[in-house]
Chain A
Amino acid sequence: AQKVTQAQTEISVVEKEDVTLDCVYETRDTTYYLFWYKQPPSGELVFLIRRNSFDEQNEISGRYSWNFQKSTSSFNFTITASQVVDSAVYFCALTPVPYNQGGKLIFGQGTELSVKP
């Protein structure tokens, strides 16, 4: 079975704190892709990052960084020096690859991050 688990339902931090959002996934496929999406209070879903299962290098983009560890089936997301504008619901997601499931995307339950001034 394929599954994505985000155990943290809600996180509240004060501005400028660092925060890590956890994501654990399950899949039997050897090839797969992992994603993070952001859903701000306005409701739209914004793509943040995609990572394939063969690339375990950490990724950094400004204040955002992602730690992919295949050994623990985790793809965690860290925001450094958080800001109020980071307040949103963040979703981790998995796409399996066999191509007969092309386009299938499995989401976690989401983590609601609240950054207070």
Chain B
Amino acid sequence: EAQVTQNPRYLITVTGKKLTVTCSQNMNHEYMSWYRQDPGLGLRQIYYSMNVEVTDKGDVPEGYKVSRKEKRNFPLILESPSPNQTSLYFCASSWTAVGAQYFGPGTRLLVL
């Protein structure tokens, strides 16, 4: 089944404790992205990647890191999480730069 998977689905952590949210897609897509969803703000792009080792900042990159060492994986790293990073995070992938993006199930993060 073609899909985007994220782990973990739910995470509670404390300020300053490094964490990684994994994202993997099995559709051989070139493009991958991370978004955060907050009430009243819709979805905002954090980072996106056009290919292996090629990434660029989205609209809200501060406090996040990404890497794309393999085509299928695009982990999101929070080196020192803060409470304002409490949010619902989505990973997505697409065939082309302008193609429909297919989303993972989301990761709900709470930073205390």
Contact = CB atoms under 8 A, between A and B. Distances in A.
- The range of chain B's interface size is 20 to 34
A43 to B, nearest CB: 6
Contacts, number: 66
Contacts of B94: 103
Given A95-B97, A97-B98, A107 B48 contact: no
Interface in B25-78: 31-33, 35, 40-45, 48-50, 56, 58-59
Nearest to B96: A102
A51 B18 CA distance: 40
Interface in B64-112: 88, 90, 92, 94, 96-103, 105-106
A107 B100 CA distance: 13
- The range of chain A's interface size is 20 to 34
B101 A104 contact: no
Contact of B105 (A43, A47, A93): A43
Given A50-B99, A93-B43, 16 more contacts: A33-B98, A35-B100, A45-B43, A45-B92, A50-B98, A95-B98, A102-B48, A102-B97, A103-B49, A103-B56, A103-B97, A104-B45, A105-B92, A106-B45, A107-B35, A107-B43
Interface of B: 31-33, 35, 40-45, 48-50, 56, 58-59, 88, 90, 92, 94, 96-103, 105-106
